[in-house]
Structure formats: C-alpha cells, structure tokens
Structure 1
C-alpha cells in the first residue's frame, strides 16, 4: 500500500530573476556572539594573533576584554545574508569596500541588512551575478561592519528575460581616512614576546614578499563545522547528494574559510599585524575541496603612517592563497592575457587588505 503525502512548500531562496536593483533585504536570525564562538574559531583556524588569544594582551592595548577577530565578525555577518542572497548560488565571487567600523565583543548581538546594488545576467542564460551592499549593526544599532560582495546565482527559469545589466561602481580601495582605528587602541606598550618578537611595520619595505611556508590541510569535518559556525546554509557547502551532479562532483569549501586559514598562516611573518581594518578587494580564483592543503603568500603594497600616532601604522597587503603547491615551483601565479588577469589553477584566493601593525 502506497501512502500519498501532500508536501507543503518550504522556502526555496531567491533566484537571479527574483532580485531587483534597490531591493532591500532584511536578514533573519540575529546572532549573539559568545566566547565559545571565538574559541571555536581559533580551534578551526589555528589563528595565533595575541590580541584575540589573551585578555592580558587586550588590556595592555586598551580593551577591557578581548575583541572578536574581525574575520570571525565578517563571516558571521556574511552568514546572515546567505539565506536571502546566495542560497541558490553557484559561487561567491568577490568583495569590495569592506570596512570595520567599531570592535565587536563577546555578548554583542549582530543583525544584518542588505541592498541589491547591481545585476548582470550571464551569457549562458542559466545564471547571473548579484551585487549587494550589506551592513551589520550591534544591539545599540551602531554599525560594526559594511561590505559589498557579488555572487553568481542560478536562474529558476532559463527562459525568463532579464533586464539589461546594471553594474555598480565599486571603489578600488578603502582610503586610509575611511579606515577606523579603534578609539581605545594604543600599541605603545605592546609586549614584543606576545607576537614572538616578529618584525614591526618599520621593518618592512614596499615590495617585500613572504611565503609563509606552513600549510593547513582542509578536513571535511573542519570546513563543514566552520561554515556551520557562521550559519552559512549555502547548499554547495553541505549537500553532497546535490553536488554529485555538479562540475566537480564535490562540495565546495566556503571561501571565507580559505581567507581565515590564510590569515592564520600569515602569523609567521606578520604576527604584529594585529587588527584587520579593511578589505579592499578579493576574489576566489579557483575552488577548494576537502583534502586540499592551503598555503599563503603576502606582499607588502603600502605602509602608511597615521597622523599623531607613533605606535602603529597601516600596512596594505596582497595575500594569495595557494593549494597543493609552492610558488617557488609554479611557472606563474597570475598573468595577463588579452588584458585580463588569469590565475594559476592552484591559486584559490587573491585578497588585498590592510592591517593595523605595531610600529
């Protein structure tokens, strides 16, 4: 005997043709960040930046408690947007104008809203790129984070005619004056031992490049748990049954996890870069999967002194993530072909960011 079941519809997320420029998106599930979240983030990434590891160090710098790592804050805010923006994504593509407006601490509650700022249907007629501007605020409605990103999203019906492309103007960088140095931060008494007595901002030169040597192999359990920590429910990261029929036949590692692994790896060399102040641009160049080993390379692009501050400087860095390879053994990392930047197939991340560094 066959039992007939009438299944009721559940939310399916937005497809490309469901978006419109100017559309507001108020994201659900506000999130109170806990000390446990911060501890788990350390366990999943291995990050060793002392400001987020020791309350005593945070106190010396001027914080009453350890601030939340800004990459953890970013991932949590990003996760809030997924259900509305990228539940039906093929892949998250890039970032721009990421600014951290004020520190977050355990106990803060974060909620996020977004606005659609651009749309472009792809030539295959099956997908399109959605651009959004997202803003995260704390329980006092103070903005803690603002970012723009773009994501490739499936169309629900390939026969749907979509409007002409409307592309946003994205700034190429976050200027030094737009970056926020936390009001309480003072690095004059930074304890050198806390960061293994590594190089300071005054020791670097523009053009210096560091391959951080250590590698982290991605475990299925680690990347899955990390992505759940951020409540990022994009199916490409979790649903192997669905991904069996995809191009790669495997679940994608959330690109944010790659970013955090590269940041953690950069400690060896950039241990005095204690605070992320901005992400100027970022691209996930190639996919990563469980079993890949991630390495990181950092190049110093710019060192900016801050008026009336002799304790810190802004250091702009180009951070590359590389899988299963060593740049010394690669014919190229990037090259320009027909005016377009092309990445080696083992380059998985190209991120330009600024860190506040002990001077």
Structure 2
C-alpha cells in the first residue's frame, strides 16, 4: 500500500465533501518580514506597531494578503495539487486580523463541479475557511480551479455550479474591533488622500513596476507552503515553464498600489477575481486601479472603497477590447473592498 499522496484528481471530488487541510501553522514576525522582503509592502498599519496602535489595534497585524496566502497554501495539497490553473475568487471576507503568535488552519467544502468538454479536466469550486487557535474564522472565500482527471474515461459527475454573489455587500464588511482613524497621521502614512478624495469611476495608474524573478517566486511559494506542481515542477507544463503563483501577482499588484492608494490600509473583502493570463519569470508587472464604489461603515472615521485592481505585463493599458475580451498583457483582474480614513 502506497504511503505517498499523489493529490486529488477531478473524479475524487463530490459536492458536499469536507476537506480538512494539514498542517496548522503558527505565524510570527518572520512572516511579516519575509512578506515585506518579497513585495514592496508599505501600508502603515502593517508596517508599524505604533501606527497600528494609534489606529486602535493592539499591534500591527500580519498583512491581510499574507494571512490569505497562509490559509490558501494549506488547501493546495487537497484542492489544486493537480491543477491546470486557479480560475477565480468570490465572496471573500477578512473577518479577524491575524497577529504574530496566531495559529492558522484551513477547512474547505466542495460546493460545485463541472467536467470540461475535453473530458480531460474539470472545474472544482470550494469554499475555504481559515481558523485561528480560538476556532474563530479569520478569512473565508470561494474559489474555483481547473483540475486534471486521473482517468479521462471516468464518468462525469452531475454538474453543480454554485450561485456566488458578484459583490460582498458593504453591510457585510467587518471592520476590525477597535479600529479607528480618528487620529490618523496622513504624513506618516505617506499620502494625504482620504476617502472623500476618491470618486467612483476614477482610474489610478500606480506608475511603478517590478520585474518578477524566479527565485523570489520560489521563496514565496515555499513560504506559503504552496505545493502546486505547476509552480515547482517545470515538467508538469507542456511548455516547460514554471508558472508564477497567482497569489504572488496579487500581492505584487496590491503593494504596487501604495502609490496612489497609500491610505487604503486594509483589504476586507475579495468580491471577485480572475487570473487572466499566465505570468512567468522575467515579466514586468505594473498595476492600475479603478474606483468602483464607496460606502460608509459602522465606524464614523472609517470608509470603505471598492476597487478594481488590475495587474498588467508591460505597460498600463485598457482592460478589455471592443470584442469584450481581456486586452493583451492583462494578468489579473481583482475586485476588492478596502478600508480608508474619512
């Protein structure tokens, strides 16, 4: 009897199946330092304990997307080890800040299945929840991934496509307990632009670019314990190239957005997202954002802004062509809610 795990294939999933992911992980200040080494992360709440305390938090939390990567990484051996591509996200909410010393674990439920017309792959939808050591949900999200079949002749399961909300309602956004921007220091944060300075429809070119290096990507996938074969094993892709982890592109775009959105301090929801095209080492990533919506929260000094965050390879350009298809060079189309001082 084999003691090794080849990972799940499409025919191994069933709607309603619960996946309890190994291994719980205690995070520390090291994760924050490494995250800031991998990406140009400069948002003040995640950079300074003293700044975070001035905003009502007990200390500087782990960057929201760093916590997301840890929770996500736990799911890879059970969900996307044999994936062709991670396709999208929906209904993501950040419910509790994650602090140094917290222990995170992940549990997923299979909520949808659909075999592709080629009979060789299928799409699996899961809803994942990340828990801390107090069994509090810190992050939850749905995602869907294209997974290889072990046996192309295996019978297709009944198609179930989950009905996922296109946007997390502003009323369902969770402002971290104690957070206030009453005494917010705009000078230390890096920009003077507040919630009222942004208009729906406004487009912001974040100007800066970063060339993706394979060594940094390999460090990131190991840091998040993301063992998907397409990130580690070049023989798992017909073109022999190592696919850059989509979360690496998300974090790069988010941190590049500091230039123009320095006061978008915390990501509190992922409404939707698509990894539009593959990213490889040597690609130069830039980012731009569009303001999609604005909302009040139950904390008077804290406003919510809904952003489309787009990562592109090369120059910043259009999102879609006249045919409705994504423009060449678009890597990521991510729809998020962020918290910003009023």
Deviation at 1:9, TM superposition (A): 5.2
Q: 2:131 aligns with which of 134, 137, 157?
A: 137
Deviation at 1:336, TM superposition (A): 6.0
Cα distance between partner residues in 2 of 1:171 and 1:240 = 36
Cα distance between partner residues in 2 of 1:91 and 1:79 = 15
* Unaligned stretches of 5+ residues in structure 1: 1-6
Q: Which residue does 1:326 correspond to in 2?
A: 316
TM-score, normalised relative to structure 1: 0.93
Task: Give a deviation string over 1:143-170, Cα, whole Å, max 9, x none.
Answer: 1011100000000011111123111110
Alignment of 1:147-296 (within 5 A): 147-243=141-237, 246=238, 248-296=239-287
Q: Which has the larger radius of gyration?
A: 1
| Aligned Cα root-mean-square deviation (Å) | 1.3
Residues 198 and 270, structure 1, Cα contact 8 Å, conserved in 2: no
Deviation at 1:310, TM superposition (A): 3.2
Task: Give a deviation string over 1:8-63, Cα, whole Å, max 9, x none.
Answer: 55110000000000011000100101100111001001110011111110110111
Deviation at 1:183, TM superposition (A): 1.4
Cα distance between partner residues in 2 of 1:198 and 1:123 = 52
- Structure 1 residue ranges, 4+ long, deviating more than 6 angstroms after superposition: none
Residues 171 and 297, structure 2, Cα contact 8 Å, conserved in 1: no
TM-score, normalised relative to structure 2: 0.97
Residues 198 and 269, structure 1, Cα contact 8 Å, conserved in 2: no
Q: 1:344 aligns with which of 323, 327, 339?
A: 327
Q: Which residue does 2:321 correspond to in 1?
A: 335
Cα distance between partner residues in 2 of 1:208 and 1:37 = 34
Matched, 1:25 2:19: yes
Q: Which residue does 1:3 correspond to in 2?
A: none
Closer/same/farther in 2, CA of residues 336 and 15 from structure 1, 3 Å limit? farther
Cα distance between partner residues in 2 of 1:157 and 1:126 = 8
Deviation at 1:324, TM superposition (A): 1.8
Cα distance between partner residues in 1 of 2:331 and 2:25 = 29
